[in-house]
Amino acid sequence: MKAEGKMKTVVLLLSMIVGSQTAFAQDFALKQLENSPHHHEWIELGINDRTLYNFVAYTEVSESVPVVIVIHENRGLTDWVRSFADQIAEAGYIAIAPDLLSGFDEDHARTSDFESSDAAREALYRIDPDQIINDLIAVQNYSGMVSSSNGKVVVVGFCWGGSQTFRFATYTEGIEASLVFYGSAPDEEGPYQYINAPVYGFYGGND
């Protein structure tokens, strides 16, 4: 199968996973994670004076495979997002889901430290947009060091994360595709000229 055909297969599989996952509640997602046969681990990346926490789900295959970076919604790195990463592993890929609320302040080192999802959402919108880009670049660089990776990277995000996926596509090189679920495009057309890989948009008209 040619490279383009393989990437279309990745896009199709990921879109199917989203269709099957979005109706699941957080408690079901946690149960799924607890019963998953896949190996999970937390990876810590040092960025300036912060620690960026990343949930990684590995697939059970003998060959090298692409890495899928999962950008969470505006509630932070929830159990649902981690369960989605696990489903990506089930589909045969490596998933890395960074917690972009990492190191928010002394009392909140990661999403799980916030007292509610509303508090996490409010904090997320206070983060410098450039910090988000720098964090994603660090994750992209790390993905190339994963021993079972074939060097190809796909980025996928939902709602707020979908917007960040689209924005990241205008900043970075070396990704194979960006999958935007419900996220908005950059306000200005200027950055579009820097996009060098396909951006797939998924927008449900009658959810």
What pLDDT score was predicted for residue 7? 59
- CATH for the stretch 3-93+106-202: 3.40.50.1820
What pLDDT score was predicted for residue 9? 56
Which residue is associated with the tokens 């997002």? 81
pLDDT of 108-148, one tens digit each?
A: 999 999 999 999 999 999 999 999 999 999 999 999 899 89
How far is 172 from 197, CA to CA, in rounded Å? 10
> How many percent of the chain have pLDDT more than 70?
84
pLDDT of 147-169, one tens digit each?
A: 899 999 999 999 999 999 999 99
Torsions phi, psi of 85, nearest 5? -60, -40
Please report, as a single letter, which amino acid is at residue 60. E
User: pTM for this one?
Assistant: 0.85
How far is 162 from 86, CA to CA, in rounded Å? 19
What pLDDT score was predicted for residue 73? 95
Alpha carbon 105 to chain centroid, angstroms: 22
The two tokens of residue 50 are 């912060």
What pLDDT score was predicted for residue 54? 98
pLDDT at 205 over 80: no
What pLDDT score was predicted for residue 192? 87
User: Average pLDDT, whole number, for the chain?
Assistant: 87
Q: At CA 147, angle to CA 103 and CA 200, rounded to 5?
A: 70
The two tokens of residue 149 are 């990776």
Q: Within a 10 A sphere around the Cβ of 50, how many other Cβ atoms?
A: 15
Q: Where are the domains of the chain?
A: 3-93+106-202
Worst-scoring range by mean pLDDT, 21-30, 55-64, 136-145, 179-188? 21-30
In order of 34, 116, 191, 196, 206, the CA distances from 199 in angstroms are: 33, 33, 13, 9, 22
pLDDT of 170-204, one tens digit each?
A: 999 999 999 999 888 887 766 888 999 999 999 87
- The DSSP bridge pattern shows strands 149-158 and 177-181 to be parallel
* Beta carbons within 8 Å of 141's beta carbon, 6+ residues apart: none
What pLDDT score was predicted for residue 62? 84
Read off the pLDDT of each residue in 27-42 and give the average, rounded to a whole number: 77
Given a contact cutoff of 8 angstroms between Cβ atoms, the answer to whether 101 and 111 are in contact is yes
